Chain A
Amino acid sequence: MGDVLSNLSLGFGVVFQFVQWTPAFLGGMSIPIPVNILLCLIGALVGTLVGVLPGIGTIATVAMLLPITFGLPPVGALIMLAGIYYGAQYGGSTTSILVNIPGEAGSVVTALDGFQMAKQGRAGPALAIAAIGSFFAGCVATVLIAVLGAPLTKLALAFGPAEYFSLMVLGLIFAVVLAKGSVLKAIAMIVFGLLLSMVGSDIETGASRMAFNIPELADGLGFATLAMGLFGFAEIIRNLDAGGETDRQLVQQKVTGLMPTKKDLRDSAPAILRGTVLGSILGILPGGGAVIASFAAYTMEKKLSKHPQKFGRGVIEGVAAPESANNAAAQTSFIPLLTLGIPPNAVMALMVGAMTIHGIVPGPQVMQKQPELVWGMIASMWVGNLMLLIINLPLVGIWVRLLRVPYRLMFPSIVVFCSIGIYSVNNAPTDVMLAGAFGLLGYWLIKHDFEPAPLLLGMVLGPLMEENLRRALLISRGDWTVFATRPLSAVLMLISAALLVLTILPSLRKKRDEVFVESEN
């Protein structure tokens, strides 16, 4: 317990760090500036700003805003990115409630009851409960990360390459099981991502792989390039296709009466609690994340409710539960990333990408060697959640106005913004073209009902998997049974195999689909 407290105080120390700023125009006077808090605030604000734009999901937002953190020191950059992430999620729920266009799968469920509430003129309470639920979930999740962080790191240090490889396999299988839609297609997307990650030079021999002597490919496909292409450009193209203007049914009434009534609070409190617990658990699972959490929380709430028939017609529990669940999951999914170095979902994969750009390889070593980075980030999560609560409720009016920006003006801006962002990573025009190509690929994938998120995960895990597989085989002198003979690895492999079998079994598959389908009717 003392450990947790000292770690958290280290973290808050980092977050509340003041830097003396001595601008020339003040004539040598210096002003202390809480840089990290400011970055957290800016991140949360900008994240909400972009996340609120209809049709732009969390992954797209984080990918698009990645370049603006490149110039910062690592701690600041990660704090800002985390802020962007929560902001984007909160922005997404605002869009779901007010326009009924969920930015991504995770907020689909919020739209069900949230939009109905908005239609009944209760958008204010819906937004407020979403914010309060998210904040509560955020607090719990922050504590959970702090408590679980250190012991898990110790566990991770006992891991050899064989265990790591098995764990990654398990994570990928989980990602498939918890994903929406066809299992086969999700696995195919992961493998496609793994394959794409192989482009470039081999880490050990330096041999150029699948690069066709193109100098720009020699270092491999840029992570930011791929993410922005698949999520930024592809989304734009798809939205254009779907007729961005026609199906926007913005709630035209003024959002008044922000404060929820006592009854609202009483109704939603248990939902928030349950959502937080469920979300925290699902978030920690490798492969888990916000999407499954919100679906599962909604389904559970409906099953437990005394009046399930009212769900979908604007009950506050239908907003409270998924919103707290997805925020809890969003945060606890940092646990596998920070302790084991394994990104459990696509957003965390983006985080890994960002860390690598700053020269940080996430994993147990970071926790030990750069504790101020990890704990600073964890502390900033709580601060970020608090800021979201403080800034978002008063700013709802601005977000609503932002929602009225027509798509025809918005999408060229996104194209330009993304292009500049990608170009600024390496100052390479080829990167921009590559991202464009990935945009078209992403459009094609969406058209054929392939989810691009697992691809991103595979892309990040690819090099890690290969390295650990190779090392494990090197240590065992080429003996493949090493994955079965080392006990920990064997257990992990067994779980993965069992999961995969279970998913393919028809009865379980029905249950799994139920979770997703129920909320769509």
Chain B
Amino acid sequence: MSDTPSHGPVKYIMPKWIRGPQDFVGGLAMVAIAVFALWASSDLQGMRGFSFGAGTAPRMFAYLLLGLGAAIAIVGLVKDGEHITTYAWRGPLFVSLAILSFAATIRPMGLIFAAFTSFLIAALGTPETRWKQTIIVAVCLTTFCSLLFPYALGLPLQMLPKFLIR
């Protein structure tokens, strides 16, 4: 892939004997997910004798994932591989915040408010944002979406804040 980030690898976090930290951690995470799924489906029945119950398939897949995750982790342990690259914080943080803000405001405040604020919060995700431009685009996009979704596509979306409608 062409997405080799410009940042260097994280140093000194992993002990040297782990030769492919990226795979090692990735595999361990898969194992963790599998264990979690096994725990979450432990209350379901199935697989006593030959009965195929609600829990059989989830457990089957979870065990498979457990094995695969372990294999990936072992490969990461013994074979030279990629280092873990640094995670950026700015993009993920503000994009997540924008999504959260949208989810929180769409019901009480309506589409126009939610879309506009969410756009501005997301725009914080990059240091390159120029505010004048951003606000103009935000206004345009909000207008476009408030015409597209409820009118052109006929989706029942509430446009204005609740307190204004009542």
Measuring CB to CB, which residues of chain A are less than 8 angstroms from any residue of chain B?
67-68, 70-71, 101-102, 105, 108, 182, 184-185, 187-188, 191-192, 194-195, 198, 202, 204-205, 207, 209-210, 212, 233, 236-238, 240-246, 406-409, 411-413, 415-417, 419-420, 423-424, 427, 429-430, 432-433, 435-436, 439-440, 443-444, 446-450, 462, 465-466, 469-470, 473-474, 477-478
11 contacts between A and B (CB under 8 A): A184-B72, A187-B68, A207-B44, A243-B6, A406-B128, A408-B134, A416-B102, A432-B103, A444-B29, A447-B87, A449-B26
Q: How far is the CB of A492 from chain B (nearest CB, A)?
A: 19
Q: Which residues of B contact A240 (CB under 8 A)?
A: 88, 90-92, 95, 125-126
Q: Given A432-B102, A433-B100 in contact, is the A241-B157 Cβ separation under 8 Å? A: no
Q: How far is the CB of A493 from chain B (nearest CB, A)?
A: 16
For A241, list chain B residues within 8 Å (CB): 5, 87-88, 91-92
Contact (Cβ within 8 A) A233 B68: no
**In the bound complex, what is the Cα–Cα distance between A195 and B63 (angstroms)?**
10
B104 within 8 A of A: yes
Contact (A184, B68) CB under 8 Å given A408-B126, A412-B119: yes
> Is chain A's binding surface mostly helix, strand, loop or mixed?
helix
Taking chain B's interface residues, is the majority helix, strand, or loop, or is none over half, making it mixed?
A: helix
A411 to B129, CA, bound (A): 11
* The 7 residue pairs across chains A and B that have the minimum distance between CB atoms: A478-B50, A240-B91, A448-B26, A436-B99, A412-B122, A202-B54, A207-B54
Q: Contacting A474 at CB < 8 Å: which of B1, B30, B52, B87?
A: B52
Q: Which residues of B from 36 to 53 have beta carbons under 8 Å from A?
A: 37, 40-41, 44-45, 49-53
Most chain A CB inside 10 Å of its own CB: which residue of B75, B137, B156? B137
Q: Are A198 and B58 in contact (CB under 8 A)?
A: yes
Task: Evaluate contact between A209 and B41: CB separation under 8 angstroms.
Answer: yes
| Residue in A closest to B125 when the chains form the complex, CB atoms | A240
State in angstroms the CA–CA spacing of A233 and B25 once bound together: 23
Contact residues in A for B111 (Cβ distance below 8 Å): 420
Give chain A residues whose Cβ lies under 8 Å from the Cβ of B103: 419, 423, 429-430, 432-433, 436
Within the complex, the shortest CB–CB distance from A464 to chain B, in Å, comes to: 11
Minimum CB distance partner of B108 in chain A: A429
| Residues of B contacting A444 in the complex (Cβ-Cβ under 8 angstroms) | 29
In this assembly, does B98 line the interface, its C-beta being within 8 Å of a C-beta of chain A? yes
A210 x B126 contact (CB < 8 A): no
A416 pairs with B6, CB closer than 8 A: no
Most chain A CB neighbours (cut-off 10 Å) among B2, B90, B111, B141 = B2
Please provide the chain B residues from 56 to 75 with a CB less than 8 Å away from any CB of chain A in the complex: 57-58, 61-62, 64-65, 68-69, 71-72, 75
Report chain B residues within 8 Å CB of A462. Answer: 57, 61
Q: Name the residue in A184, A205, A473, A478 with the highest tally of chain B Cβ atoms < 10 Å from its Cβ.
A: A184
Tell me if A205 and B133 are in contact (CB < 8 A): no
- Quick check: A416 and B122 within 8 Å, CB to CB? yes
- The answer on a CB contact under 8 Å between A469 and B155 is no
Contact between chains at B134 and A417 (CB < 8 Å)? no
Interface residue? B84 (CB, 8 A): yes
Assuming the A-B contacts A198-B61, A408-B126, A432-B106, are A68 and B145 also in contact, with contact meaning beta carbons closer than 8 angstroms in the complex? no
Give the residue among B82, B85, B145, B155 with the most A Cβ atoms within 10 A: B155
Contact B40 A409 (CB under 8 A): no
Are B119 and A416 in contact, CB atoms less than 8 angstroms apart? yes
CA A449 – CA B155 in complex, angstroms? 37
- Contact present for A424 and B134 (CB under 8 Å): no
Q: Is there contact, CB below 8 Å, between A416 and B106?
A: no
In the complex, whether B107 has a CB less than 8 A from a CB of chain A is yes
Q: In the complex, which of the residues A108, A407, A423, A440 has the most CB atoms of chain B within 10 Å of its own CB atom?
A: A423
Task: Find the B residue at minimum CB distance from A413.
Answer: B141
Q: How far is the CA of A202 from the CA of B58 in the complex (A)?
A: 10
- Docked complex Cα distance between A182 and B119 (Å): 37
B16 contacts the other chain (Cβ, under 8 Å)?
no
Q: Is the CB of B126 within 8 A of A478?
A: no
A446 to B133, CA, bound (A): 31
Within the complex, the shortest CB–CB distance from A244 to chain B, in Å, comes to 7
Which A residues touch B30, using CB under 8 A? 188, 192
A210 near B68: Cβ-Cβ < 8 Å:
no
